[in-house]
Chains A and B, each alone.
Chain A
Amino acid sequence: MKITYREALRQAMHEALAADSRVFLMGEDVGKYGGSYAVSKGFLAEFGPERIRDAPLSELGFVGTAIGAALGGMRPIVEIMTVNFSLLALDQIVNTAAVYRHMSGGQFSVPVVVRMATGGGRQLAAQHSHSLENWYAHVPGITVLAPATVDDARGMLRAALADPDPVVIFEHAMLYPMEGELSPDWEKADLRTAKILRAGRDVTLIAYGGTVWKAQEAARQLAAEGIEAEVLDLRVLRPLDDATIMASVGRTRRAVIVDEGWRTGSLAGEIMARIMEQAFYELDAPVARVCSAEVPIPYAKHMEGAALPQAPAVVAAVRQLLAKA
């Protein structure tokens, strides 16, 4: 069945709201407007203002409220418009949600799910377009997800709500209108493993969220040149699935990480370090990465395109690793 990423997310939330009265959705414009990416369209009419709550423009306030509700036994889903705005709620997520189990000696857990859009490509300029997943992936106590496929968009929320600890879900803004085939496996979505989306023997392209599709496009172009690239979708950014990464790199002996975050201090850097630690003797070339240019994401379309990781840059990096440049 063909389905859009947006529809998959909508079905997931609808299912959760219908199945569990403790679940409610809160965020800016999630009610009357139907969500800034229209994921919760129609929910207000169906579930009512008690459970579909439009919040004031205060991320610190409504994320903190959701955390309180979670401590009180609810299963809140919070939607934040973009990761840029989530920095206003960083204190609640990092200093409260992530540490309460620890601070309370195990007496309290915070079963909150925070959804937020991320990434550039829609000409929303430097205050709406960044990829700051690594900020959250740095913090112990939370699980960080990056669904890239309709299967994960449909399946991950259920697993996230079932988790007794805080989960942050990043939805790449370019993926909402993407159509994909929903496989019967969507119900098996877990919060621990990476997944090989395309098998190949020459190089592993490691990507997450929006860059998964850049990597897939690069793999298609490389295949035309006889280079077989493996595409690994990280899915889970914290904890990273080292086993799947090392197994793949051990097979292909080369890796290119495609990360929409900036290079400095990036998740790509973390993954490179882990490969160095765990698979050094398997490598046939230095690990490479294609990241966003270290500039605020530009507004102008051509400049924005040039600043973000694109398939041709991935292809060029692979060619260099294989001495086929």
Chain B
Amino acid sequence: MDEPTLRKTVFDTLRRIAPEVTPADLEPAVPLRDQVDLDSMDWLNFLIALHDKLGVDIPESDYQKLVTLDDVMGYLKARCG
């Protein structure tokens, strides 16, 4: 999956949970949950949706690696090529 497609998938997933988000306004290096009002249930649903679409398994121990949009993109890119 190329990066633009992956980026679109991540944004689409995010917007299903937080419809008010404008992707262009998100700072890639600022913690995502600080920019978008996501509680732990939202965050879990976000990861579950990514898991369902991309087939990537995300162990709970890796949650702390996923903080910013850059983190998420990097993590997913490394696992779904």
Is there any pair of Cβ atoms, one from A and one from B, under 8 angstroms apart in the complex?
A: no
Binding site for B on A (CB under 8 A): none
